[in-house]
Amino acid sequence: MSNEEVKDVISCENLIKIYKTFDIEVVALQGLDLSVKEGELMAIIGNSGSGKSTLLNMIGGLDKATAGKLIVDGKDLFKLNDIDIMKYKRDTVGFVWQNNARNLLPYLTALENIEQVMNMKGYAKRRTRALELLEMVGLTHRRNNKLIELSGGEQQRVAIAIALSNNPRVLLADEPTGSVDTKTSTEILDLFRELNRSLNLTIVIVTHDRQIAQKVDRVVAIRDGRTSSEYIRKISYAEELAHLNSIAEAAGESHEELAVVDRHGRVQIPEEYLNRLGLKGAAKLKVELEDEKIVFYSSELQRRKDDGA
């Protein structure tokens, strides 16, 4: 199926979020645009304070945007009342957190944890469905073990099973590998890939770890509350697995970075480029159109060259 035929399951337009505390205003998102296709596995990356977790919370119905447009699975979140939001969180989205204590009860077994959540939501045939979910995340053999008997990675798998219990249209994961080792992190990301493939499940992962890009097809970078660039996979993940020893894989070049030009014509130049050229603060650049290229020139760098610096 081509991209033209796949609809957007998440659409953010000019999204703004301002937090107000007494006389202080903090702008977390400032005109962010983002679209996520149905069945896509993608990651949102950014440093602390970039706005990525704020965005995830708004997509999940845990926080409200100040202005803009946010539509998830055909639902305009700006138009939902409190009851609608509760139904939306119950039926449309599933959450996986870095701290799985938010999902799990330590005194229950893996199976009982899943059943407990389904019981609270009033689902029928809880035992059958819970066992199906444990099989889905590869933990059937640990169904009767309590949380203290499970490793961190196994606990996170139980948390993923719980997040899937309502058959969500979108699975949201906030730093899901942040508290596990590298090997376990790889296993969890492989599980997300398998769930995405087998269920055609839309999965959005928020992380500060750029290495996660190797496991997804698209990575959106956020800086200062706006989308700054995207990394698009050059070849499919399946093709890449078939060529693990290729030059591109060895060089870490499975993706190419694309700068994002927003609806107002704004573009964020990658921070590492600015640092390399010594352009800090409010640098001024000359912009020219050369054939089919948009070229940025720094008058400051030219002045340094002329001065022999």
* Blockwise average pLDDT, block size 10, the chain, 309 residues: 71 92 85 93 88 93 94 96 94 88 83 87 79 95 93 92 93 89 89 94 89 81 82 58 47 56 67 68 68 69 58
Give the pLDDT score at 279.
Answer: 67
Give the pLDDT score at 244.
Answer: 46
Tokens representing 43 are 């990651």
Domain boundaries in the chain? 37-64+79-267, 269-309
Residue with the two structure tokens 């700068």: 259
Cα-to-chain-centroid distance, residue 277: 30
Q: Angle of helix 126-136 relative to helix 110-120, nearest 10 degrees?
A: 130
Residue 235: strand, helix, or coil: coil
- Architecture per CATH, domain 37-64+79-267, reads as 3-Layer(aba) Sandwich (3.40)
What are the φ/ψ torsions at residue 252 (nearest 5 degrees)? 70, 30
Give the pLDDT score at 249.
Answer: 46
Give the pLDDT score at 168.
Answer: 94
Q: In what order do the strands lie in the sheet with 24-37?
A: 24-37, 8-21, 67-72, 75-76
Give the separation between CA 222 and CA 140, rounded to whole angstroms.
38
Give the pLDDT score at 226.
Answer: 83
* Exposed e or buried b per residue across 57-86, where buried means at least 16 C-beta atoms within 10 angstroms of its C-beta: bbbbbeeebeebebbbbebebeebeeeeee
